[in-house]
Amino acid sequence: HAGDAARTDLMTITRYVLNEQTKHPESRGDFTILLNHIVLGCKFVCSSVNKAGLAKLIGLAGETNVQGEEQKKLDVLSNEVFVKALVSSGRTCILVSEEDEEATFVEPSLRGKYCVVFDPLDGSSNIDCGVSIGTIFGIYVINDGKEPTVEDVLQPGRDMLAAGYCMYGSSCTLVLSTGSGVNGFTLDPSLGEFILTHPDIKIPKKGKIYSVNEGNAKNWDGPTSKYVQKCKFPDDGSSPKSLRYIGSMVADVHRTLLYGGVFLYPADKKSPNGKLRVLYEVFPMSFLMEQAGGQAFTGKQRALDLVPKKIHDRSPIFLGSYDDVEEIKALYAAEEKKE
Ligand code: P6P
């Protein structure tokens, strides 16, 4: 039976990436090794996040654990795990993490050709109330063999080789694109393997959900205010959209990817560049949205065409269903004409 075949043909993320690798005969498997180390980091963080509540309950967090070590904050711990996993993979040369002010340059003996930009635990302020959080990552390749510098990662998001996120929620789901579509894998804890559960994800062309922090409405610019107003009081007789805002980017983006609609973190008077970071939040999520048939816009341009000046630069972002983002682009274009 087809069902049985599906149940016994376990397409793990490693098998999936190896299959992808066979499409590039010249590849020496470096990307597969790199990805395996990212997956290892995700499995560790998944296990730690699931225990975090318990650790707090039995008083481990914030005190010393059985080894007498100070219990680390989960985002600090997650960052250390990813940095160690990526460096030890021997396939990276520069790492940019939301947790580290400066980029990490891998020592020559362990240096590879990939740059990884990542937020090890985005939304970590939501841990204590059990809201889903996640790891977000993007991968650039650097082939020129010269001494790596920070300019090597200040590249437009369209040059990313791959991007993905791992969401730690009711289940642990890793969503990945290596440039030919988007696939979702769910961790089977009994196997310790990520199994393909969402093959070839495509975002609905138009959605019924908008996702934004309405608490910032006082500070929004004209086009954003007009768009949100249209969502609530449509002038074409259609029904109003639903508002869903979790306040954890990975969770809001994952819902947008699967159900459709649009996620907005606009600029506002207080933060003219918005809040979300270009390299390890905006670029990976925009890459995934485009690969799934959606799009991502900054209010001025295609998000993936942005060129960051600094590794922690921020940008406004409007991403999701193709038609919904088109409406936002039209409102910004009309504003442009007026100026
Ligand atoms: P606000 C979490 O702190 C985060 O970085 C993203 O995960 C999330 O989308 C955003 O900030 C929420 O920001 O200002 O709405 O609380």
> Residues 177-204: pLDDT tens digits?
999 999 999 999 999 999 999 999 999 9
**Short-list 168, 166, 118, CA closest to 138:** 118
**Short-list 209, 218, 335, CA closest to 269:** 218
Ligand 1 centre and the CA of 252: distance in Å? 10
| pLDDT at residue 58, as a whole number | 45
157 lines ligand 1 (CB under 6 A): no
Ligand 1 centre and the CA of 20: distance in Å? 34
| pLDDT at residue 240, as a whole number | 98
Q: Give the phi and the psi of residue 294 in degrees, each rounded to 5.
A: -100, -160
Ligand 1 centre and the CA of 274: distance in Å? 11
| pLDDT at residue 66, as a whole number | 47
| Predicted model pTM | 0.93
Query: Which among 121, 135, 275, 315 is the best mutation to test ligand 1's pocket, defined by most ligand atoms within 8 Å of the CB?
Result: 275
Strand order from edge to edge, sheet including 162-168: 104-105, 92-97, 111-122, 133-141, 162-168, 172-177, 183-188, 193-198
286 lines ligand 1 (CB under 6 A): no
ipTM > 0.85, yes or no: yes
In this structure, what token pair is assigned to residue 98?
Answer: 């939301």
What residue ranges of the chain have pLDDT lower than 50?
57-61, 63-68
